[in-house]
Amino acid sequence: MLVKIPIDPVLVSIGGLKIHWYGIMIAIGLYAGIQVALRDAPRRGIDRDQLMNVALLAAVLGIAGGRLYYVVQNDPNFFLHHPAQIIAVWQGGMAFFGAMFGGALAVAISSWRWKIPFWSLLDVGALGMTIGQAIGRIGNIINGDIVGYKTNGWGFEYTNPNTFGPLNVPVQPASLYELLISLTLFLVLWNLRTRIHPEGMLAMLYVVLYAVSQFFIFFLRDNIVILGGLKQAQVTSLVVIALALPVIAYLLRRERLARPPETQPAETPSAAGEAAG
Is 80's pLDDT higher than 90?
A: no
Mean pLDDT computed over 13-22:
84
Per-residue pLDDT of 119-167, as tens digits, reads 999 999 999 999 999 999 999 999 988 888 998 888 999 999 999 888 9
Q: Of 71, 92, 88, 89, nearest to 80 (Cα)?
A: 71
Residue 87's pLDDT band (cuts 50, 70, 90): low
Helix ranges (DSSP H) in 117-200: 118-143, 174-192
Split at pLDDT 50, 70, 90, the class of 108 is very high
What's the pLDDT tens digit per position in 209-247?
A: 999 999 999 898 877 777 778 888 899 899 999 999 999
- Determine the Cα–Cα distance for residues 68 and 88; give it in Å rounded to an integer: 11
pLDDT at residue 23 in the model: 86
Contact 254, 117 (CB under 8 A): no
Measured from the Cβ of residue 154, the count of other Cβ atoms closer than 10 Å reads 11
Q: What is the 3-state secondary structure (H, E, C) of 45-71?
A: CCCHHHHHHHHHHHHHHHHHHHHHHHH
Q: What is d(CA 192, CA 109) in angstroms, rounded to the nearest whole number? A: 26
